Amino acid sequence: MKELTIDATVENINKVTEFINEQLETCGCPIKAQMQIDVAIDELFSNIAHYAYNPDVGPATVRVEARENPLSVIITFIDNGKPYDPLKKTDPDITLSAEDREIGGLGIFLVKKTMDDVSYEYKDGQNILTIKKNI
């Protein structure tokens, strides 16, 4: 398992993405799965940056581990910010036009649709959101 702790700012999304992509390369992650993971990183880390400590800045930890049988990558995002479970948000009605849909929720919807598992827990004062992608 590899771990990175960094300030939860939008400016650090690229650093988090690079850190995770380095780990994905070592386990031979296909480009399609990597692109889906990159979208998930952007969505999840930007949510932490915008909402967890607002208006302040605090730390976020990202853990990456590969597992076998089936080969998969598990990425965990941990912050000490305000408790928030993005999985409780109702999925957007994607049958409506963009103008008729409520703002928000599309990013986490995409994460749930492209990852093989997404889970959230609030434990010991920490938001812990985990995504799993079978590769």
Distance of CA 53 to the CA centre of its chain: 17
Q: What is the mean pLDDT of residues 40-49?
A: 95
Average model confidence (pLDDT) for the chain?
90
Instruction: Count CB neighbours of 104 within 10 A.
Output: 11
The answer to whether the CB of 112 falls within 8 A of the CB of 119 is no
> What burial class does residue 48 get, using C-beta atoms within 10 Å of its C-beta: 0-12 exposed, 13-18 middle, 19+ buried?
buried
Task: Summarize pLDDT for 61-112 with one digit per residue, the tens.
Answer: 999 999 988 889 999 999 999 999 988 876 655 655 666 656 655 678 899 9
**Crossing angle, helix 31-47 and helix 106-114, to 10 degrees?**
140
pTM surpassing 0.85? yes
- Domains of the chain plus CATH, in order, are 2-134 (3.30.565.10)
